[in-house]
Chains A and B, each alone.
Chain A
Amino acid sequence: MKNRTASHPGRLAKMKSQIGNFVLSLYGILGFLFLYLPIIILVIFSFNNSRSTAQWAGFSTQWYAEMIQDDQVILALWNSLFVAVVSTIVSTVLGTLAAMAMERYAFRGKLVMDALLYLPIIIPDIAMGIMLLLFFNISGIGFEPWRLRFFGLRFAVPYSVIIGHVAFNISFVAVVVRARLAQMDRTLEEAANDLYADNWRTFRRVTLPMMMPGILGGALLAFTLSLDDFVITFFTSGAGFNTLPVRVFGMIKRGVTPKINAVSTLMLAASLLLVIVSLVTRRGGEKAPIDLNL
């Protein structure tokens, strides 16, 4: 009798915690369903055999065929990639240099610099978009892309869009690279110095390789943000210049068709690919041995 009363609260508590755990797991599954269901529906209807995005009418790849035949979409895709590549290169260099200054040196005005580097991350993109719109407008710099000819190919260099993308990407790169610098083991650099490696050599052979995962991570982040950006591009691109998100926005405004689903699926695949690449490089960065052959 004594035993039973003593064990009773324990058993009850155990049962309670089992029920609690079940409810929690159910909630977790529902939560992730909420996050993924809309995306899955979007992808499914990109293969729909009718104009509807709500009623299934059989499998078809007609919308992908239409997408590939749409010159405007293809052009917008190239524009997106071009802007992303150029802005990533510029912002990675500038952001990395800034990160080194911020992490390795003490100087006056560092707090202000810190705030300045964080501001483009915090500020909503609509504010940044109209700031740049106004700036390009009244400074006379304008939005009209440079039209270049290159081996018979025509190029549009949308400097205003690239400038905007670099302006927000510098900060993101700087944050990522700084985080990497902060967790780096400095004894290796000191060892290199002790072994009479000059500063440049120490930097090339020790610091830079150790920073590389951070730099790559920052570059990948910048590339992703640039490819994804709609708002800032929307306000800084001149008439007639579209990146893929800007093109998609225009298409949505004109009417929903599964073709937009097809373009969206393509962009989803690109994002997923970038996530995988960043995971692989991060894992590689953790395992990569540091070349100590000075």
Chain B
Amino acid sequence: MSLRTLESVNRFINQRSESLLQKMRQFPSLTAWLLLLPALSWLIIFFVAPLFIVLAYSFLERGTYGGVTWQFTTENFARVFDPLYLKTFLRSVYIAIVTTVVCLLLGFPLAYYISTRPPRRRNTLLLALMIPFWTNFLIRTYAWLTILRTNTGLINVSLISLGILDKPLPLFGNDFAILLGLVYGWLPVMVLPIYAALERLDRSLIEAANDLYAPGSRVFLRIIWPLSLPGVVAGSMLVFIPALGAFVTPAILGGGKSLMIGNIISNQFLAAHDWPFGSALSTLMMGLMLFATLVYFRSTRRGEEIEK
């Protein structure tokens, strides 16, 4: 191939790319779509398509050897109301709600504590808050396993060897252990948005209330609480959603007895090979979360209206 052909090829490519560039300048949205194309294709193939497969499967009949037969049915959703599954479903919702409430009760004062420190201390404390969150969730759950286990856990072993107890406390393999694990795991994401709201709060409002001899409870109820509400709602969402979808915590701290929806879903795929029922359970779980998210956006919009 001569140098000249190479040159002409090069010129041709240049012209082509020049015209593409011109087009891109004329139609900015074309550029946007070109930039989006790789991520969008990836998400459509490996996220949206799988999502629709799960939705579709939840309305299909179970095949004899795993898989499905192409027959429309709502049987899978009806089965959720089978007392056996309904109990677990409701318990999961209950555990998620209690986790959220406990995180709020523990997290609010912690956020308030951080927000009242001097600015430089605040950053250090925030970092200290986030470091446990950035460490592996599985490992943090395992840490509690070594502490709570019935006969060989740190608490029971220590209390018995000190002679304080003669029988181990039931700390493990129950809802308490799951709750503790979830609260421990998600407390930082409750604290963070509340802290953000408290930090924005205008301190002079509290000072004014104090100057007017408003009692502390009133300052809290009338000023601090309402102004931190957006953070409270955001934090509650961030805790509730993963708590409802918990899989690792009940699998490790539930001791095989105390299970949540996440474990039932996983069983349908890994052990029972009932894909349609597993899909129906996931669909319901995602539905619940979508509902929670909508409530969240509604309440933030109302909050903005009130502020105006």
Contacts and interface: CB of A to CB of B under 8 A. Distances in A.
Contacts of B127: 275, 279
A150 interface: no
B47 A264 contact: no
A20 B116 CA distance: 12
Given A101-B36, A127-B245, A231-B248, A42 B53 contact: no
A101 B175 CA distance: 46
B90 interface: no
Contacts of B278: 130
Nearest to A93: B38
Contacts of A260: 142
B50 to A, nearest CB: 4
A135 B42 contact: no
B116 A126 contact: no
Interface in B239-283: 241-242, 244-248, 251-252, 262, 265-266, 269, 275, 278-279, 282
A252 B145 contact: yes
B149 interface: yes
Contacts of A39: 132, 135, 140, 143
B147 A38 contact: yes
Contacts of A230: 136-138, 248
A24 to B, nearest CB: 5
Interface in B117-137: 125, 127-132, 134-137
Interface in A84-114: 93-95, 97-98, 100-102, 104-108, 113
Given A41-B146, A54-B146, A125 B139 contact: no
A84 B188 CA distance: 25
B188 A267 contact: no
A167 B134 contact: no
A54 B110 contact: no
Contacts of B67: 138
Nearest to A224: B134
A35 interface: yes
Contacts of A94: 38-39, 42
Contacts of B161: 55
B131 A164 contact: no
Given A97-B39, A127-B245, A24 B112 contact: yes
A31 B132 CA distance: 12
Interface in B1-58: 21, 28-29, 31-33, 35-36, 38-40, 42-43, 46-51, 53-54, 57
Interface stretch (A66-74, A116-124, A204-212): A116-124
Contacts of B35: 97-98, 100-101, 105
A38 B51 CA distance: 37
B53 A38 contact: no
Interface string A147-175: 00000000000000001101100100010
Contacts of A288: none
A224 B137 CA distance: 12
**Interface residues of B: mostly helix, strand, loop or mixed?**
helix
Given A41-B147, A108-B29, A127-B286, A120 B184 contact: no
Interface stretch (B69-77, B151-159, B228-236, B299-307): B151-159
Contacts of B48: 116
Contacts of B251: 249
Contact of A54 (B57, B143, B152): B152
Contacts of B196: none
Contacts of A98: 35-36, 38-40
Contacts of A53: 146, 152, 154
Contact of B293 (A28, A122, A135): A122
Given A101-B33, A235-B269, A275-B131, A167 B42 contact: yes
A93 B152 CA distance: 48
Interface residues of B, number: 85
A55 B39 contact: no
Interface in B69-98: none
Nearest to A227: B136
Given A134-B279, A163-B46, A267 B136 contact: yes
B28 A126 contact: no
Contacts of B43: 116-117, 120, 167, 170
A271 B133 CA distance: 10
A255 B152 CA distance: 11
Contacts of B246: 126
Contact of B142 (A113, A123, A248): A248
Interface of B: 21, 28-29, 31-33, 35-36, 38-40, 42-43, 46-51, 53-54, 57, 67, 106, 109-110, 112-114, 116, 125, 127-132, 134-140, 142-147, 149, 152-154, 156-158, 161, 184, 187-188, 210, 213, 216, 241-242, 244-248, 251-252, 262, 265-266, 269, 275, 278-279, 282, 285-286, 289, 293
Interface of A: 9, 13, 16, 20-21, 24-25, 27-28, 31-32, 34-36, 38-39, 41-42, 45, 52-55, 93-95, 97-98, 100-102, 104-108, 113, 116-117, 119-120, 122-135, 138, 163-164, 166-167, 170, 174, 199, 224, 228, 230-231, 235, 245, 248-249, 252, 256, 260-261, 264, 267-268, 271-272, 274-275, 279
12 contacts: A28-B125, A35-B128, A54-B152, A54-B157, A55-B157, A94-B42, A124-B289, A126-B246, A135-B46, A248-B138, A274-B134, A275-B134
